[in-house]
Chains A and B, each alone.
Chain A
């Protein structure tokens, strides 16, 4: 299926850019005239994915986080968050709620939040090459 509209954003893996990443996605998706609740859900999911890229993907170094946003018919939005970092050795384990390698201050809820706030979450990863998280959500129009 061909996208009706798309945008790309990339930025350094500075944690201060987490808010920029989710705000950029929200700004682009606002053309779907979404409800505040739907838009916040997507913002939250993007925030989790971008944080994962910064905290885990590029844990030892600076890198670039790439976000692609595509809009399809019927209010379907697909957001892909990609890094060229260390990759995930065991995706199934990484997606388990409460599993974290991030230490005491991380709740281990990132993927659980993405799954609960989006319609679908797809993760592909290669160790040493990077990780790609694809978030899909349908936006109903405001009443």
Chain B
């Protein structure tokens, strides 16, 4: 499974695993949306610690989830971004619509 979901006190955390491209993003999106649409969390945390590579499909995945959570006024937080992934995130300017959690230090 390329997504591991956990829910606690209004926060849905989705741990993503493996490379994110147009092909793998589809399955991740379906898994996340299935649960998120039922729980309507006020916060959706996308954890990229287990993602070694992503192309702009990852940005599409994030933007789509920001849009979805907007329907119930929830927000999206990104965490565990490696240097690689961070380059893509910065290029996209997505930091304006999703909060980014940096590791301590």
Residues of A near any B CB (own CB < 8 A):
15-16, 18-19, 22, 37, 40, 43-44, 47-48, 51, 54-55, 104-107, 109-110, 112-113, 116
B53 touches A40 (CB 8 A): yes
Contact of B91 among A19, A22, A47, A109 (CB under 8 A): A109
A-chain residues with CB within 8 Å of residue B91 when the two chains form the complex: 109, 112-113, 116
- By secondary structure, the B interface counts as helix
Q: Does B25 sit within 8 A of A, measured CB to CB?
A: yes
A-chain residues with CB within 8 Å of residue B53 when the two chains form the complex: 40, 43-44
Closest Cβ of chain A: how far from B82's Cβ, in Å?
10
Most buried by B among A15, A18, A40, A105: A105
By beta carbon, the residue of chain B nearest A14 is B23
B-chain residues with CB within 8 Å of residue A106 when the two chains form the complex: 56-57, 60
A55 touches B22 (CB 8 A): yes
Q: CA separation between A116 and B56, bound complex, in Å?
A: 12
B-chain residues with CB within 8 Å of residue A104 when the two chains form the complex: 64, 67
- Show 28 residue pairs from A and B whose CB-CB distance is below 8 angstroms, ordered by the A residue: A15-B21, A15-B22, A15-B23, A18-B23, A19-B19, A19-B23, A19-B24, A22-B21, A37-B84, A40-B84, A44-B55, A47-B21, A47-B55, A48-B55, A48-B56, A51-B21, A105-B61, A107-B56, A107-B57, A107-B59, A107-B60, A107-B63, A109-B56, A109-B92, A110-B56, A113-B55, A113-B56, A113-B91
B88 touches A113 (CB 8 A): yes
By beta carbon, the residue of chain B nearest A40 is B84
B-chain residues with CB within 8 Å of residue A110 when the two chains form the complex: 56
B-chain residues with CB within 8 Å of residue A18 when the two chains form the complex: 21-23
